């Protein structure tokens, strides 16, 4: 459909599969993460999916305002507009609240929540000027109900939901739509690294979440809506 889509946390998992969904549809995709090698691997994968001329692979950190501004600027330079923003970048720690270090807390909140804020702050004015655009923020089932050993992650994902709903209210008359997707546990490297011991039958596949995000891009649902994704 020839839209331009920025996807954070897009070198693997949900983000990479989301990029593939849009690319297969003929859209332009901007992917990035902090590691150059990971961006190259993801770009190589996407080139087997769709038109390489519609892929922009960048290196950047969602926690840094300067990086976010740079990614948005390079997207506009390459493609001229931004139609969709998917805030997917996320990390977690599985330990009791009293065992969390301050650095772990800051890293999780800065990646999951601050990064979402920084990108929305840059992109929403562009979408308002276009009088059109869709933002999809990836929260979690744990963004509605806290769970032991996930205090920082839950706090960040609760925050993503509040941020989504506030932004939806602020942009209600602008033609912009803002949604939050709330997946159950997903088969990703992040989940595996946490060592939860969940079987494949208990996990969503990244593509299932990606397909849900893709279908939200038409902007037909009420802005501010929370979309659950479960088995």
pLDDT digit string (tens) for 199-213? 989 999 999 999 999
Q: Outline where DSSP puts E strands in the chain.
A: 4-7, 28-33, 55-59, 84-87, 133-138, 176-183, 226-229
- pLDDT, residue 191, reads 86
Q: What is the mean pLDDT of residues 96-113?
A: 98
- pLDDT, residue 13, reads 95
Does domain 4-229 sit in CATH 3.40.50.720? Answer: yes
Task: Report residue 57's pLDDT band, with 50, 70 and 90 as the boundaries.
Answer: very high
Q: Identify the CA nearest to 42 among candidates 87, 7, 77, 83.
A: 7
Is the confidence at residue 1, as pLDDT, over 80? no
Instruction: Write down the catalytic residue from 45, 94, 153, 179.
Output: 153
d(CA 40, CA 62): 18
Task: Identify how many contiguous H helices and E strands the chain contains and give both numbers.
Answer: 8, 7
Is the confidence at residue 197, as pLDDT, over 90? no
- pLDDT, residue 189, reads 86
pLDDT tens, residue by residue, 176-188: 999 999 999 999 9
Specify the long-range contacts of residues 34-38, CB closer than 8 Å, at least 24 apart: 34/59, 34/60, 34/61, 35/11, 35/59, 38/11, 38/12
Q: What is the dihedral of CA 133, 6, 223, 188, to 10 degrees?
A: 160
Q: Where are the domains of the chain?
A: 4-229
Which residue, chain included where needed, has tokens 């706090």? 155
- The pLDDT mean for the chain works out to 96
Whole-prediction pTM: 0.96
> What is the torsional sign of CA 177, 63, 111, 19?
positive
Task: Report residue 112's pLDDT band, with 50, 70 and 90 as the boundaries.
Answer: very high
- pLDDT, residue 135, reads 98
- pLDDT, residue 211, reads 97
45 in catalytic set:
no
User: Which residue(s) pair with 179 in the sheet?
Assistant: 136
d(CA 51, CA 55): 7
């Amino acid at each position: 459909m020839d839209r331009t889509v920025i996807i954070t946390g897009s070198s693997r998992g949900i983000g990479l599969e989301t990029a593939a969904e849009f690319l297969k549809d003929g859209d332009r995709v901007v992917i990035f993460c902090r590691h150059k090698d990971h961006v190259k691997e993801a770009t190589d994968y996407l080139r087997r999916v769709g038109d390489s001329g519609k892929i922009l692979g960048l290196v950047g950190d969602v926690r840094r305002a300067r990086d976010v501004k740079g990614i948005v600027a390079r997207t506009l330079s390459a493609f001229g507009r931004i139609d969709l923003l998917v805030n997917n970048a996320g990390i977690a720690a599985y330990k009791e609240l009293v065992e969390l270090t301050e650095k772990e807390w800051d890293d999780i909140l800065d990646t999951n929540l601050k990064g979402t804020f920084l990108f929305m702050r840059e992109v929403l004015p562009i979408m308002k000027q276009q009088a059109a655009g869709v933002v999809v923020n990836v929260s979690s089932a744990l963004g509605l109900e806290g769970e032991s050993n996930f205090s920082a992650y839950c706090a960040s994902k609760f925050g993503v939901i509040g941020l989504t709903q506030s932004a939806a209210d602020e942009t209600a008359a602008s033609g912009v739509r803002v949604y939050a997707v709330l997946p159950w546990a997903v088969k990703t490297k992040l989940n595996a690294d946490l060592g939860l011991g969940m079987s494949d039958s208990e996990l969503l596949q990244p593509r299932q979440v990606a397909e849900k995000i893709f279908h939200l891009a038409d902007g037909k649902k009420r802005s501010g809506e929370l979309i659950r994704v479960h088995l």
